[in-house]
Amino acid sequence: MGSPLLIAAIAAGATLAGVTLQWVFSQVSAYLVTRRENGARLNAVLAELLGIRHLLLVQPKTADPTGFTAKLLTPEQRQQAGPIPPEVRALVAQWVTPILPDPRATLDRYAAAVTALAALDPSLSYQLRYEGLALDLMRMIGEAGAATGAPPEQLTDLQQIIADELVPDLEAAILAVATSAGGWWRRRQVRALMKRAPVSEKEMREGLQRILARVLKATGSGVVLAGLSCIWSEPARAQRTWQLHSRVDEMTDRRATWADLDASAEITSTWGTFRPTLELACFGQDSTIRLRLYTGVAANIDGADPNQAYAQIRFDTAPAMSGVWDVQHIGATSMVDLRSLTAPGQDSASILGSGRFHERTVRDATIGRLLRARRVLVRYRLLSGEEVVAVFQPAAGGMRRALATVYAACGAALPGTGP
């Protein structure tokens, strides 16, 4: 009897051992799968955290790219290049911004990575959720500074202070995530990476000086810095400021208030040389505010309607809009008042209309575009058949105040500033 019982016990033990081993193997397999998935999600969070750190360190340098580049030059080079006009700072920032990483996109990716991590490690996900607030704060400071016209140097200094205070805590969180994702070896890799990136200001200065040295050697003169000085000063020469005027009509005792903007350059035609002018005018309280163009010489009149002229307007890089202008005077100082604008693809019949209400709508919409534009082109045809393009580059300084004064003279608020 002992032998069959022993055999049965051994069989039962073997079965139990097999089930136990199967369970252990399944648990180990599930653990490895979970660990692998957790590691993958932690790596995604780690990559975005490194991106946030990079942006925090780079943001103060990109807030004023022209000023930062000037810091990389030697004192002698800066003196030869000359002072940097504010208009150039704004123009270069406008060119550079589209090629820089978007903080909003980085924050969105980080939020998605942290949310995905919550399914496996909710505690760690909660701890990491607000690590991106520092970058969001930097973004808001940059936008507020641009909207209020804060000096670029002050904006850069403020962002640098924030980065100096917050980056060390962010780096501690990055190393903790690196350890969780890949142990001490991953932590070591990330620490080495943070020492190398981003490139230090010293390395940037040395790199720029090497490039300048080779270029100057190839040209044999200081033509590069002289050209840089020319580039910096050219936009300032091309820009014009809105000029505000006011006088009282002796016959009616009504005060006329107007602001005008000269074209950036004169236009030469068979009629001679002239400089077109944009004007916003109020001819006394309760009168209609007029947006008009002094064409310099007579604009071509539509054969079907001698009281209308046509001219296209383009704001910055937006598609050109077709404009209908009411002719007020024909002669050496011809002037036309804007009546309607038609955007590409729109039905002109639904846009033209008539009446003062429609003209006010068109005028206010056009002024709103003028306030945002850095460059305005107006193309029209002269009576001689020549087609000319007037280029207007308004300087930001004083523009809003001048146009608001004209609106206020007629008891109205500048578009976008009313209640």
Q: Are residues 98 and 131 in the same domain?
A: yes
Position 260 in a domain: yes
Query: Helix, strand, or coil here: 114?
Result: helix
Region label for 82, one of left (φ > 0), alpha (ψ between -120 and 50) or beta (otherwise): left
Q: Are residues 69 and 216 in the same domain?
A: yes
Position 415 in a domain: no
Position 79 in a domain: yes
pLDDT at 167: 85
Q: Are residues 203 and 351 in the same domain?
A: no
Helices 2-62/103-118 angle, 10° precision = 160
Position 418 in a domain: no
Q: Are residues 319 and 369 in the same domain?
A: yes
Q: Are residues 194 and 267 in the same domain?
A: no
Q: Which residues contact 272 (CB under 8 A, 6 or more apart)?
A: 297
Residue that finishes a domain, picked among 204, 231, 258: 231
What residue spans of 197-314 are helical by DSSP H?
201-219, 223-238
Other C-beta atoms closer than 10 Å to the C-beta of 330 total 17
Q: Are residues 219 and 266 in the same domain?
A: no
Position 236 in a domain: no
CA 393 to CA 376: how far, in whole Å? 6
Q: Are residues 41 and 155 in the same domain?
A: yes
pLDDT truncated to tens, each residue of the chain (419 aa)? 457 777 777 777 777 777 777 777 777 776 666 677 777 888 888 888 888 888 888 878 777 777 787 777 777 777 666 666 666 676 677 777 777 777 888 888 888 888 887 877 788 788 888 877 877 888 787 777 766 667 777 778 888 888 888 888 888 888 888 888 888 888 888 888 888 767 777 777 778 778 777 776 666 555 555 555 555 554 555 678 888 888 887 777 788 888 888 888 888 777 677 888 888 888 876 667 888 887 765 555 444 556 777 788 888 877 888 777 777 765 555 677 776 666 655 443 333 334 444 667 778 888 888 888 888 888 887 777 777 888 888 876 678 888 888 888 888 888 865 44
pLDDT at 303: 44
pLDDT at 4: 75
pLDDT at 354: 42
Q: Are residues 180 and 120 in the same domain?
A: yes
CA 291 to CA 338: how far, in whole Å? 6
Q: Are residues 281 and 215 in the same domain?
A: no
Domain span holding position 306: 242-409
What is the CATH classification number for the domain harbouring 256? 2.60.40.1880
Q: How many domains does the chain have?
A: 2
Position 333 in a domain: yes
CB 366, CB 341: distance < 8 Å? yes
- pTM, two decimal places: 0.48
Residue that finishes a domain, picked among 231, 265, 293: 231
CB 93, CB 64: distance < 8 Å? yes
Q: Which residues of 73-84 are buried (b: 16+ CB within 10 A; e: fewer)?
A: beeebeeebeeb
Position 23 in a domain: yes
Q: Are residues 136 and 205 in the same domain?
A: yes
Q: Are residues 224 and 296 in the same domain?
A: no
Q: Which residues contact 178 (CB under 8 A, 6 or more apart)?
A: 46, 186, 187, 189, 190, 191
Residue that finishes a domain, picked among 231, 251, 276: 231
Q: Are residues 95 and 140 in the same domain?
A: yes
Position 405 in a domain: yes
Could you tell me the two tokens for 94? 């406008």
